Structure 1
Amino acid sequence: MPDRLPGYRPPARWLHWIVAVAVLMMIPAGLVMTQEGLPRPVQDTLFIFHKNLGTLLILVILVRVIYRLTHRPPPLPDSVPPWQRRAAAVSHGMLYALLVIMPISGFVRVRAGGYPIELLDRLGFGPLIGKSERLADAASALHAAAAFLLIAVLAVHVAAALQHALIRRDGVWSRMWPGRG
């Protein structure tokens, strides 16, 4: 069991955990805000929270993707079998793709639906997209499908991380943990 594997650089770790915490707040808000019978003030608050945090996430995810493209991740330890390396590569690729698809499809759905994004409106940004029910419906369908796929891929990602942290104890978990020295 290695004591210290090469870890991710601090910017990669912080970007990972900022996105992780934000996404873990967005998922329940997104699932609850669309439920029938929810009191309107609660629903409105959740929609505003979800839309505006999603808008901020677009920027953070863009920075994260650029950082990832310009900084190679540290290698996995030799003890990780080839099939797990491939699975990790595929799941990370899916996570990045879904993290880009989700806020963009949400943005398109809201703006094409003619709804406000309060943060952008206060900053003076125009809608950027004309109102289109057809486009809003397509973006909504993409957003919903990608959301459930994201939840599934995140569940696998978290399960794999916990397996490395609690069962294998091979140092893979600590490479991304923000408290690492």
Structure 2
Amino acid sequence: MTRHSDSYQTPARLFHWIIAAAVLLMIPAGLIMTQQGIARPLQDTLFLFHKNIGVILIPLILLRLIYRLRHPAPPLPSSLPGWQRGAAAVSHWLLYLLLIVMPISGFVRVRAGGFPIELLDRLGAGPWLAKSEALADAAKGLHYAAALLLIAVLAVHIGAALHHGLIRRDGVWSRIWPPVRPRD
């Protein structure tokens, strides 16, 4: 079992699970909304959801990253092999990078493409970018490539978490779950 000092603090846990839930909803929405032959009302709803949750995720991800930089992760169990420690570090920082690239490239793709982001438009934020098909196309390509990489890294991350939680039962899973710290 994990000791209290080896667990993530409550804010880190909440950031993790709120962002994880949003991202895990955004992935199928993004994959479905871009398919040919999907009913237009469903496609419109998914685009609205995807764009506007993406905008909400930008400040949440930045706050999470700031929190993470100010509050380092608790140490991994000493029983974990060095290669797993290295893989965990690389995958976590890659996830942070992708979590920044995804909403920003999505924002650039939408705004440079001349499309609305309803939440920002209602707040009077303005487009912030001039319309540019070249920029929109580049951002679209980056968003797509980053999405594929994000899906792969998430699959490894979730697989490793399940391995530690269900098979090894070594306390790695309980460091981040549940979202609130147990009382002493």
What range describes the TM-score normalised by the shorter chain of this pair?
A: over 0.9
Deviation at 1:102, TM superposition (A): 0.0
Runs of 4+, deviation exceeding 2 Å = 2-5
Deviation at 1:44, TM superposition (A): 0.5
Deviation at 1:179, TM superposition (A): 4.4
What does residue 8 of structure 1 align with?
A: 8
Q: Does 1:18 align with 2:18?
A: yes
User: Structure 1: how far apart are the matches of 2:83 and 2:15?
Assistant: 27
1:131-163 deviation line (CA, Å, top 9, x unaligned): 000000000000000000000000000000001
Q: Does 1:39 align with 2:55?
A: no
1:96-131 deviation line (CA, Å, top 9, x unaligned): 000000000000000000000000000000100000
User: Structure 2: how far apart are the matches of 1:3 and 1:67?
Assistant: 22
User: What is the TM-score with the length of structure 2 in the denominator?
Assistant: 0.96
Deviation at 1:168, TM superposition (A): 0.7
Q: Does 1:98 align with 2:128?
A: no
Deviation at 1:180, TM superposition (A): 3.9
User: Structure 1: how far apart are the matches of 2:89 and 2:108?
Assistant: 29
CA contact (8 A) 1:77 1:172 kept: yes
User: Structure 2: how far apart are the matches of 1:75 and 1:146?
Assistant: 29
User: Structure 2: how far apart are the matches of 1:101 and 1:54?
Assistant: 11
35-44 vs 132-141, which moves further:
35-44
What does residue 140 of structure 1 align with?
A: 140
Q: Does 1:117 align with 2:117?
A: yes
CA contact (8 A) 1:174 1:180 kept: no
User: What is the TM-score with the length of structure 1 in the denominator?
Assistant: 0.98
1:25-80 deviation line (CA, Å, top 9, x unaligned): 00000000000011111101100000000000001001001101111110001010
The secondary structure found in structure 1 opposite 2:144 is: helix
User: Structure 2: how far apart are the matches of 1:33 and 1:3?
Assistant: 41
CA contact (8 A) 1:54 1:103 kept: yes
Deviation at 1:3, TM superposition (A): 4.7
Equivalent position amino acid for 1:26 in 2: M
What does residue 84 of structure 2 align with?
A: 84
The secondary structure found in structure 1 opposite 2:78 is: coil
Equivalent position amino acid for 1:154 in 2: L
What does residue 167 of structure 1 align with?
A: 167
User: Structure 1: how far apart are the matches of 2:116 and 2:47?
Assistant: 10
The secondary structure found in structure 2 opposite 1:35 is: coil
CA contact (8 A) 1:165 1:173 kept: yes
Identity across matched positions, percent: 70
Deviation at 1:4, TM superposition (A): 2.5
CA contact (8 A) 2:15 2:60 kept: yes
Structure 2: segments with no counterpart, 5+ residues: none
CA-based RMSD: 0.9
User: Structure 2: how far apart are the matches of 1:179 and 1:97?
Assistant: 25
Structure 1: segments with no counterpart, 5+ residues: none
